[in-house]
Amino acid sequence: MGARTETIADAGRTLGVNQPLYSGPARSAAEDATIVAEARAGDRTAFGRLYDRYARMVHGILLARVPRDAVEDLVQDVFLLALRRLHTLRDAAAFGGWLAMITRNRAKDYFRRSPQRLETELSENVAGAERECSGPDAEALAALAAIRELPDAYRETLILRLVEGMNGPEIAARTGLTPGSVRVNLHRGMEMLRKRLEKIPFSRQEVE
């Protein structure tokens, strides 16, 4: 299973991510509250700091829900929405959970106009990636597709962990989930993912 887990991590490199912005322990909610207050006062540099802190989280949540080629534009949409709505945030220390909610809602809005868009575009996106890539890249994308077939909670947490490179405490701190929920999601999600990966025909070299 080790080689296959590494294949999941390869998905991050294939997608041009998997270079964590976070080093050391997750920053405190109090720090977020201070930065949010500065951003509310009109300091665009402060909002840029929030972007740096949360861009990977937003990217991961979107990657779990929408076609890959739509993610980058939607990341920008999410932060623009957050900037416009920042005055509505009641608890500045809860910025991460609030931003995660905006991100999930933006992903839902993406498909709202056409109920068939989710299933069609996700399948076409994966198929197109497999046509464009070969070897390890195709295997990494196939593994990513396996993650995206899991239930929402597991899918999101696994992508944040395996693709975006965030650890459990960082995921909890950023999304507003409890550490216990993150642990459960990672554990159950990995169990489900292992079963799906067993059905993917990786090359002998990759499996061995």
10-60 pLDDT tens trace: 555 444 444 444 433 345 788 999 999 999 999 989 999 999 999 999 999
pLDDT at residue 28 in the model: 74
Give the residue numbers spanning the domain of 58.
2-207
C-alpha distances (whole Å) from 188 to each of 155, 168, 181 are 10, 14, 11
Dihedral sign for Cα atoms in the order 125, 182, 104, 25: negative
CATH number of the domain where residue 168 is located: 1.10.1740.10
Count the Cβ atoms, other than its own, within 10 Å of residue 151. Answer: 11
Q: Look up the pTM and report it.
A: 0.77
User: For 20, phi and psi rounded to 5 degrees?
Assistant: -55, 135
- Centroid of chain to Cα 111: 18
- How big is the CA angle at 206 (ends 203 and 208), to the nearest 5 degrees? 105
> Distance (Å, rounded) from C-alpha 42 to C-alpha 23?
28
pLDDT of residue 149: 87
pLDDT at 9 (0 to 100): 52
Q: What is the pLDDT of residues 62-109, one digit of tens each?
A: 999 998 889 999 999 999 999 999 999 999 999 999 999 999 999 999
pLDDT on residue 93 = 92
pLDDT one-digit tens code per residue, 140-181: 777 788 888 899 889 999 999 988 999 999 999 999 999 999
Domain count, the chain: 1
CA distance 165 to 17: 9
Q: What does the pLDDT read at residue 196? A: 84
Q: How far is CA 189 from CA 126, 159, 177, in A?
A: 20, 10, 16
pLDDT of 16: 44
Torsion angles phi and psi, residue 148, rounded to 5: -70, -5
d(CA 23, CA 39): 23
DSSP per-residue codes, 114-156: -TTHHHHHHHHHHHHHHHH--THHHHHHHHHHHHTTS-HHHHH
Burial class, 99, CB count within 10 angstroms (exposed 0-12 / middle 13-18 / buried 19+): buried
Dig out the tokens for 20 from the structure.
Answer: 């964590």
